[in-house]
Amino acid sequence: MSYFSLRQITKTYDSQTALQEFTLELEKGEMIAIVGESGSGKSTLLRIAAGLTAQTSGEVWLGDQKILNPSQKLVPGYDEIKLIHQDYQLFPAVTVEENIARPLLQFDVNYREQRIQRLLDQLGLNAYKERLPRQLSGGQQQKVAIAQALAVEPEVLLLDEPFSHLDAIQKRKLILELKELLQEMGTTVIFVTHDLDDALRLTDSVVILQKGKVVQKGNSKDLCEHPKSRYVARLFSSINLIPDRFNSYIRPSDIRLRTKGEILGHVIDSRFLVHYNSLLVRLKNGGEIWEVDDPVRKYKIGDRVYLHFDEEKVLVLKS
Ligand code: ADP
Ligand code: MG
């Protein structure tokens, strides 16, 4: 039996289904990411997992404890299961240290002080412990929120796009630090995000959610090479429809640019990106516009190019 399990969770709001028979089993210390577009039911799922929203049907279990929802429990939520989201509120008028101490006020003073010191060390917040939240950067504030949630040593941490308002560099750094810390603590983690790239920085184990349903599960390589639908394929990159072939697509990074060959096109746009130039190529046959990566930055707007790809890279996607 697994450690944390969400069994056949369905949630309907009025007549709208936000989640449909969602099932997920996690072992202790396992980290998993749930990726889906906005409105796919991610926040609803985590609130149900934390016992903060009542499901329409289905059960949540932590070990042999059934998680009760707000209609079954006087004080909603559990110390064992902590949910952090983007707008997590710190106490604005007290210091970092006092913010982290808040959930520990009922604990023995020695334990409390030890615990606070350890969290300040683990999250690299020692230098800021006397500051107020508004005197910190977004990334630092988010770390304090995480320290606060971890103060009571939860078994399960649920992350609801908590890094969305950080810049890319802060975000990557925080995800890596957090990954190390959570592994060390043996915390079981569900991380939900619309951004597959963020998800893969934390864990290689991904569940794809679409309109409240699991559409695919797997590791990054599986999902990228064998997506079951256009929705899953597009989480990795854009895809180009191959003319005169049904449901067949090719990724911009799987196309090679040649000076002779079969598929002729003209470069109509070129953008200089960090790792390659991203070209828009209008195909001569059919006029389709493809996105093509030019890693050697060789081609200019107006150039004639021939496009080539290996048959094994073609994705056949019926939906
Ligand atoms: P996500 O976090 O993936 O963006 P949500 O769980 O917030 O998705 O929402 C899933 C669906 O449920 C959406 O269509 C949303 O409009 C609906 N929904 C979420 N919360 C409520 C609510 N409190 N009342 C009615 N509908 C809601
Ligand atoms: Mg959400």
Tens of pLDDT along 287-301?
899 999 999 999 999
Q: Is 36 in the pocket of ligand 1 (CB under 6 A)?
A: yes
Terminal-to-terminal C-alpha distance of the chain: 34
Is residue 177 situated within a structural domain?
Answer: yes
pTM of structure: 0.91
Residue 257 and residue 185 in one domain = no
Q: Is residue 87 part of a domain?
A: yes
CB 40 less than 6 A from any atom of ligand 1 = yes
Question: Is residue 32 predicted with pLDDT exceeding 90?
Answer: yes
pLDDT of residue 89: 84
Tell whether 199 and 307 lie within a shared domain: no
Q: Among residues of the chain, what percentage have pLDDT more than 70?
A: 100
Per-residue confidence band for 166, with pLDDT thresholds at 50, 70 and 90: confident
- 176 and 41 belong to one structural domain: yes
How far is the centre of ligand 2, averaged over its atoms, from the C-alpha of 237 (Å)? 22
Closest CA to 255 of 292, 286, 280, 227: 292
One domain for residues 86 and 111? yes
Ligand 1 site, residue 38, Cβ cutoff 6 A: yes
Helices 168-185, 138-150: crossing angle, 10 deg rounding: 20
Structure-derived torsion over alpha carbons of residues 151, 152, 157, 159, reported in degrees to the nearest 10: -40
For residue 192, being part of any structural domain is answered with: yes
Ligand nearest to the CA of 19: 1
In a domain, 233, yes or no: no
Q: Per the domain annotation, does 231 fall within a domain?
A: no
Q: Does 221 share its domain with 77? A: yes
Token duo for residue 46: 């985590």
Pairing of strands 4-13, 16-26: antiparallel
How many structural domains compose the chain?
A: 2
Considering the domain architecture, whether residues 253 and 275 belong to the same structural domain is answered as yes
Last residue within a domain, chosen from 190, 225, 260 = 225
CB of 13 closer than 6 angstroms to any ligand 1 atom: yes
What is the tens place of the pLDDT at every residue in 109-162?
999 999 999 999 988 899 999 999 999 988 889 889 999 999 999 999 999 998
Residue 43 near ligand 1, beta carbon < 6 Å:
yes
CATH of the domain at 180: 3.40.50.300
Same domain for 205 and 243, yes or no, is no
Contacts (Cβ under 8 Å, ≥6 apart) of 223: 206, 208, 216, 232, 235, 236
102 with 31, same domain?
yes
Asked if the structure places residue 13 within a domain, the reply is yes
Same domain, 206 and 143: yes
Ligand 1 near 193 CB (within 6 A): no
Does residue 230 lie within any of the structural domains? Answer: no
Å from CA of 39 to ligand 1 middle: 6
Q: What is the pLDDT of residue 120?
A: 94
For residue range 1-25, list pLDDT tens digits in order: 789 999 999 999 998 999 999 999 9
Could you tell me if 14 and 131 lie in one domain? yes
Q: What is the mean pLDDT of the chain?
A: 94
Contact 283, 290 (CB under 8 A): yes
CA torsion sign for 312, 226, 162, 141 is: negative
Structural domain boundaries, residue 285: 238-316
With a 6 Å cutoff on the Cβ, whether 206 touches ligand 1 is no
pLDDT value of residue 263: 92
| 259: DSSP letter | S
Query: Is the same domain home to 157 and 242?
Result: no
Ligand 2: centre distance to CA 86 (Å): 9
Kindly state whether residue 294 falls inside one of the protein's structural domains.
Answer: yes
Give the confidence band of 87 by pLDDT, cuts at 50, 70, 90.
Answer: confident
What number is the average pLDDT over the span 254-259? Answer: 93
In the structure encoding, which two tokens stand for residue 240, read together?
């180009």
CATH code: domain of residue 273 = 2.40.50.140
| Boundary-marking domain end, from 162, 191, 225 | 225
* Whether residue 249 sits in one domain with residue 148: no
Counting from 1 in the atom list of ligand 1, the atom nearest the Cα of 53 is 23
Q: Which of 225, 252, 273 is the last residue of a domain?
A: 225
